[in-house]
Structure 1
């Protein structure tokens, strides 16, 4: 009794299915008679087994359950599994030890092995008089951890970088030229002198890509290393009409209708994008410069756009194959 109320423990009388309850009632009639005898021989067990349609061994199992219980029908109901696929079978105290040891011993920069962590689990369980879980149980708990979070805890942010998205969350862009990303990359070819065929170096491409349309809206190719002298002209090329530039190149048949002043340019933290000239030029024309938050984060939209602008990105990414040579007349 607790607080004047009786505690009623449900043993299956109200929850057992009708089929199981009917079988238990029939078995109780036979097993009850056997349990009244001081000794149940093989002949009596065989007769009960024949009557119930079960084996002799099952008769003795039911008889043991009847005598160990209260001698009621519910003693013969089939047992219910407390575990099962996808459900824990360990005591709550053992589960708590597993979590504590994994957090304290496995998820740290000492990078202990699973064997070392398991030895600590065994030590704590035995010290608390608890059943020791199998090592496979510990391995399943570790495999269920978030891979990126576990790698960060054991190896730091650098170790988890390959498990995370390179581009992070995509920017919230609603209209054309709302954000334009600008960056540089070397072209996969070698420029050589027209007369002596001496290498002059690899040109750099500075490209501006509109995030909303994924279109290249500005482009500058130069043999000089990336600087404000390439970032500024690329931004100017983004704003200007491309037709005069294409006509000077003899490309009258090529259409490049993308142009306009961007609301925001998104760049990395390189020196050329931090220059006073570029900042003042953007302020002069009402363009907002936005910088990548982390030096190691990826300028994902720009790289996706560059790869989509050329066949397989062949002319945009350095490769170990021999680079083609292009003759250039020195000015």
Structure 2
């Protein structure tokens, strides 16, 4: 097994931990602690350690698993356990009843215990589900029409229910030529990188540069989109308000190389 594979698996683990911990309220209760323990398949003491690390640091990398000792990949389920899982998948989970993963896990765990078998963790069960064709699963749970709308490329508009649900980032050449302040010789047309909120159609942030589109331009635009604009406006003597900022829930981009650089995805996950 390669080091890159191990690093990728470690990062996936950290991302999943961040997703779960981000849903926990500031004041923990027994209910949400038990839920998080099941989701992450960890002990109570480990969960509280992870919560402390995440809230103090705020970055996904703070949740990377301990790298000491050997690591193993996902082991196959015991055949008897997998038979129970497959039975409940076909007759319960992959149906129009659309039960949650937690309810699916409870049904599986109950049957496993009744047969004296150790039930899989809810996370391991989730990994098992991810191995299935998600489009076919949605057909069985929600119908062909909804599955096709999600998984097939169809014409239509893009909508977002709330601000920051979807933010689109793209580059364009500004329709202006910048000249040298002394020689007046043309230096070129600047590149404008803009982040637009789909729900409000407001410009969330931008970056302007004479450099060609790059990962740096994307990072600076996204940083501008996330930050509060009051200090930025004051520094430039602008009295108009610009009350838009925050972390996008999803970022839509085109196929530019700068958007598909691994550093871009890692940075989005990190912060």
Q: Per the shorter chain, which TM-score range?
A: 0.3 to 0.5
> Which of the pair is proportionally richer in helix?
2
Per the normalisation by structure 2, the TM-score is 0.42
Pair member with larger Rg: 1
